[in-house]
């Protein structure tokens, strides 16, 4: 070994990592419970049921829902988003149950707003939980009818707004639905109800466990004529500018972890807030890997959520919301 002189370092970035205090001062992204939206499943029956396809998640009764939402809210989570498991007997080709003002979702909205008036209640607009075909739109001869679907979705949104929803989140990916919903809500006397658009929702295999939770998988075909091709970026930018022009208040990217570049590109191309949805498959990969101690659940989950926020998400829909709020306390 030759006796080399020590290299004279021009820069020492490690000085900014030398202690917890310095690291706290230079930290660029702070994840907080107030960034989180908690997706909750509910059913019309009595009792709370564990969900086989989503270990760690529950299909709540109305009472259980109100209690669980209240606990998350008390931990600093500002918002929930509701997904109903609809009885088979109430499903139909056109999803008519969405128009029922006393349906499961309107009942849940009223119960939540009555008990927790400051909790932000977000609702899903799409037909799949209500459709006997398991599609987000109306199916005729194997085709999804775009314009007929958005008429039904507009009714669904107005029923939810009438019941007291704060934010309406269409997850269906039909063309023109943001403009149609905005117009319908405004003319029904709900100019203050927000629209969180699933702007860049990809046709993803990460949704599998969610469809098990609601028994909402398509009976035939797939969702690729309405959800986006995972290979595309420019298409997301086009959807974003359409949604913005049609009056969306918040743009969403979904899934999150495999689409961080999309979150960043939307962040750079719009002044609107960006939401990201850490979906069922993303959640369960962490759950499954941590179950036998292969990874550490808390640290991996918080790292994934921090990465989603760092990419540019202002808010994150995550099944970890309540746990994360506890971990961050």
Tokens of 275: 């939401």
Binding mask 148-177 for ligand PBG (x = CB under 6 A): -----------------------x------
Any catalytic annotation for residue 67?
Answer: no
Any catalytic annotation for residue 254?
Answer: yes
38 near ligand PBG, rule: CB under 6 A: no
CA distance 265 to 147: 29
CA distance 26 to 13: 11
Options 10-18, 40-48, 204-212, 292-300: segment touching ligand PBG (CB under 6 A): 204-212
CA distance 5 to 7: 6
Active-site entry in 254, 287, 309, 322: 254
Which CB atom, from 24 or from 150, has the smaller least distance to ligand PBG?
150
Roughly how many angstroms between the first and final C-alpha of the chain, as a whole number? Answer: 52
123 near ligand PBG, rule: CB under 6 A: no
List CB contacts of 158: < 8 A, sequence separation 6 or more: 184, 185, 188, 190
Q: Which of 128, 133, 239, 243 binds ligand PBG (CB under 6 A)?
A: 128
Which CB atom, from 18 or from 103, has the smaller least distance to ligand PBG?
103
List CB contacts of 14: < 8 A, sequence separation 6 or more: none
Active-site entry in 201, 223, 287, 322: 201
Options 57-65, 67-75, 205-213, 231-239: segment touching ligand PBG (CB under 6 A): 205-213
Q: Which of 38, 130, 202, 210 binds ligand PBG (CB under 6 A)?
A: 210
Q: Would you tell me how many other CB atoms lie within 10 Å of the CB of residue 125?
A: 29
Q: Which of 207, 226, 259, 320 binds ligand PBG (CB under 6 A)?
A: 207
∠ Cα 185 91 211 (to 5°) = 85
Establish how many alpha carbons lie within 13 A of residue 50's alpha carbon, considering only the half-sphere containing its beta carbon. Answer: 3
CA distance 234 to 223: 20
Options 4-12, 120-128, 145-153, 289-297: segment touching ligand PBG (CB under 6 A): 120-128
Which CB atom, from 107 or from 122, has the smaller least distance to ligand PBG?
122
Binding mask 221-240 for ligand PBG (x = CB under 6 A): --x-----------------
CA distance 183 to 318: 30
Q: Would you tell me how many other CB atoms lie within 10 Å of the CB of residue 115?
A: 14
280 near ligand PBG, rule: CB under 6 A: yes
* Interacting residues toward ligand PBG by CB under 6 A: 124, 126, 128, 136, 171, 207, 210-211, 223, 279-280
Query: Which residue numbers are catalytic?
Result: 201, 254
């Amino acid at each position: 070994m030759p006796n080399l002189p020590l290299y004279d370092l021009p820069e020492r970035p490690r000085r900014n990592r030398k202690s917890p205090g310095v690291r706290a001062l230079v930290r660029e992204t702070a994840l907080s419970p107030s960034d989180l939206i908690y997706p909750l499943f509910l059913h019309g029956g009595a009792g709370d049921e564990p969900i086989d396809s989503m270990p760690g998640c529950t299909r709540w009764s109305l009472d259980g829902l109100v209690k669980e939402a209240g606990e998350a809210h008390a931990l600093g989570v500002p918002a929930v988003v509701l997904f109903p498991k609809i009885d088979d007997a109430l499903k139909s080709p056109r999803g008519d149950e969405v128009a029922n003002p006393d349906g499961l979702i309107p009942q849940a909205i009223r119960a939540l707003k009555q008990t927790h008036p400051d909790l932000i209640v977000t609702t899903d607009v799409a037909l799949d939980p209500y459709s006997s075909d398991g599609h987000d739109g109306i199916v005729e001869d194997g085709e999804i009818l775009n314009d007929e679907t958005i008429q039904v979705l507009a009714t669904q949104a107005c029923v939810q707004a009438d019941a007291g929803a704060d934010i309406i989140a269409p997850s269906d990916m039909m063309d023109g639905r943001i403009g149609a919903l905005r117009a319908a809500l405004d003319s029904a006397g709900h100019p203050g109800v927000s629209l969180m658009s699933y702007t860049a929702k990809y046709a993803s295999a990460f949704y599998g466990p969610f469809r098990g939770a609601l028994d909402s998988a398509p009976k035939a075909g797939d969702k690729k004529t309405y959800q986006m091709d995972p290979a595309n970026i420019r298409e997301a930018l086009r959807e974003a500018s359409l949604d913005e022009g049609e009056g969306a208040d918040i743009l969403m990217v979904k899934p999150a972890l495999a689409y961080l570049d999309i979150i960043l590109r939307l962040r750079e191309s719009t002044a609107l807030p960006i939401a990201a949805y850490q979906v069922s498959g993303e959640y369960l990969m962490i759950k499954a890997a941590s179950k036998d101690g292969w990874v550490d659940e808390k640290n991996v989950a918080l790292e994934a959520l921090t990465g989603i926020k760092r990419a540019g998400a202002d808010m994150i829909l995550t099944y970890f919301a309540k746990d994360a709020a506890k971990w961050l306390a």
